[in-house]
Amino acid sequence: MPVEENLPALSYARGPDRALLELTIGDLLARTAHRFPDRLAVASCHQGKRLTWAQLSDEADRVARGLWSLGIRRGDRVGLWSTNCIEWIVMHMGCARAGAALVNVNPAYRSHELQFTLQRSRMKALFLWHRDKRADYEEILGRARHGLTLALEHTIYFDSPEWPALLEAAGELPARVAVEDVANIQYTSGTTGLPKGVMLTHHNIVNNGQFLAQGFHYTEQDSVVVPVPLFHCFGCVIGTMSAVNSGAAIVLPNWTFDPRATLKAVHDERATSVYGVPAMYVAELQLPEFASYDLTSLRTGMMSGAPCPVELMKRVLNEMHCGELVIAYGQTETSPVVTMSDAEDTIEIRVSTVGRAMPQTEIQIVSTVTGEPLPVGEQGEVCARGYAVMKGYDGDPEGTAQVIKEDGWLHTGDLGIMHDDGCIHLTGRSRDVIIRGGENIYPREVEEFLYTHPKVDEAQVVGIPNARLGEIVVAWVRLAPGAEATEEEIRAWCQAQIAYFKVPEHVRFVTEFPATLSGKIQKYKIREFEIEARGLQSVAAAVTA
């Protein structure tokens, strides 16, 4: 039988074989503190606080002992509900030293979401501030826990005597923390409508940080401005762990993103790297006083978390002096980065793809119908395998099995094409997800919340293009018979109980939804209608990497 020649190459690539670290986060911090004890580890500009690596390591030990004094033991869950601050970094490192799993709680959560997280995570302690400009966290917590029996035993407020007392408590450090232990649990909106707790191990996070640091070419001479939220993987892995691996300094410009504070931090700290989602870079470039900030110290940085417009990236490369700016791709379930362009790649690669497989990571493009690998150049679902794949969804083996198959491949739900050089160009999503300014929103979750409104009979939620945020949320609502409501009423109902980024920007009242003959709602038609009705054709057609 003749052998077929010139068969097309399959869409499969494996990153370089580099050594994986067998260290916990605490081990890595101790190593970096030993190497660079007096180098700056973290600067919180808005708090006027700074710690060297030796000081950060000492503070982490104090937190670990304090947690022990509260009865927190290896494997217990500790919640952290805060915007960006030096305490966040200290808690991150301290929980790791204690062998506790840090549960990241989104500061945008309101009572409906917080209640779910408190119950599902089984956290024994929660660390937070009483309030800030955006929310009264004490009041929200009170409403969320009302009438519930929870595992939560301790609530520690950073702006109370409880926090310094904890740091002075006489406790012990655990005898052993293993690299396979869960270090971090992050709640990501689930396709079933309920958030899922992604369990990331020390091994996941330490090594993703290592390979990120190598991709950025970081050393202890670098200084990284981190305006992205620390409760996201972008902040607590890309932002933090790349620095812990390299000795680079972490610079926090503000509690939450502020374009002026970000540029001022670069200017004042002579930073060499800056991070952000596309909307953040847009806001910075649009500042009237943009030219007054000296950004010439910048060398590199990352634009990620949402589709990256090509023209925007070119402006950042040129006008912000980030000549080695890279784009990365991944998700919380992959710790998070699985592909990345290198700082030494050509501009063409960096503006047209999300790079290639990270070290010790396999990437393949498979058919959404058969699951089989596709030839190079054909569109399919992006899958990843390797050290970065999460341990699983907390308490949800069925949900885990839906995305991680028996052969170890994680199915991302994203669509892409692999080029001959192994670089990936993302083309869309096979799952129903909206990405608003870097925040992942699953429409089902918003729809199920809308159903709790007594006047809502049916709701369908879609994302529509937005020049600044990438996408925004739109809801089509059919009211119950005889009911009347306004758009403002529906939005106000949402604003009081769910995170601001999930609140529909627009609400359209309808009597019917576009559907197939079998009754399946055609969301793409809703989206097309809204694009046409709102004159968003040019925004929808914008080219992204």
49-53, 277-281, 498-502: least confident range: 277-281
pLDDT of residue 355: 95
| CA dist., res. 459 & res. 75, Å (int) | 40
pLDDT of residue 517: 57
pLDDT of residue 520: 62
| CA dist., res. 51 & res. 88, Å (int) | 13
Interstrand relation of 324-330 and 337-340 (parallel, antiparallel or unpaired): antiparallel
Asked if residue 227 has a cis previous peptide bond (ω within 30° of 0), the answer is no
The percentage of the chain sitting over the pLDDT mark of 70, rounded to a whole number, equals 95
Residue 415: CB partners within 8 Å, gap ≥ 6? 368, 379, 380, 381, 382, 426, 427, 428, 429, 430
Average pLDDT over residues 320-331: 94
pLDDT of residue 470 exceeding 70: yes
Task: List the one residue out of 111, 1, 227 whose CA is nearest residue 499.
Answer: 111
Average pLDDT over residues 368-379: 93
Q: Which helix (H) or strand (E) holds 243?
A: helix 241-246
Give the count of alpha carbons within 13 A of 433, CB side only. Answer: 22
Q: Are 100 and 127 in contact (CB under 8 A)?
A: no
Average pLDDT over residues 496-518: 88
Per the rule left: phi > 0, alpha: psi between -120 and 50, beta: everything else, 495 is alpha
Average pLDDT over residues 430-437: 80
| CA dist., res. 418 & res. 368, Å (int) | 15
The tokens of 90 are what?
């200290």
pLDDT of residue 183 exceeding 70: yes
Buried b / exposed e across 299-317, counting CB within 10 Å, b at 16+? bbbbbbbbbbbeebbeebb
| CA dist., res. 234 & res. 369, Å (int) | 32
Residue type, 181: D
Domains of the chain: 434-540 (3.30.300.30)
pLDDT of residue 189: 63
pLDDT of residue 1: 45
Q: What pLDDT, in 10s, does the model give residues 388-429?
A: 999 999 999 999 999 999 999 999 998 899 999 999 988 776
Residue 470: CB partners within 8 Å, gap ≥ 6? 277, 278, 279, 306, 307, 435, 436, 437, 438
pLDDT of residue 5 exceeding 80: no
Q: What pLDDT, in 10s, does the model give residues 218-254?
A: 999 999 999 999 999 999 999 999 999 999 999 999 9
| CA dist., res. 30 & res. 203, Å (int) | 16
| CA dist., res. 147 & res. 166, Å (int) | 28
Per the rule left: phi > 0, alpha: psi between -120 and 50, beta: everything else, 109 is beta
pLDDT of residue 191: 38
| CA dist., res. 226 & res. 236, Å (int) | 10
CB atoms within 10 A of CB 485: 17
Q: What pLDDT, in 10s, does the model give residues 184-215?
A: 999 986 434 578 999 999 999 999 999 999 99
Task: List the one residue out of 544, 542, 466 whose CA is nearest residue 504.
Answer: 466
pLDDT of residue 177 exceeding 80: yes
Residue type, 413: G
pLDDT of residue 485 exceeding 90: yes
Q: What pLDDT, in 10s, does the model give residues 86-112?
A: 999 999 999 999 999 999 999 999 998
Average pLDDT over residues 282-310: 90
Runs of H (alpha helix) within 36-125: 53-69, 86-98, 111-121
Q: Please, which pLDDT band fits residue 543 given cuts at 50, 70 and 90?
A: low
pLDDT of residue 348: 79
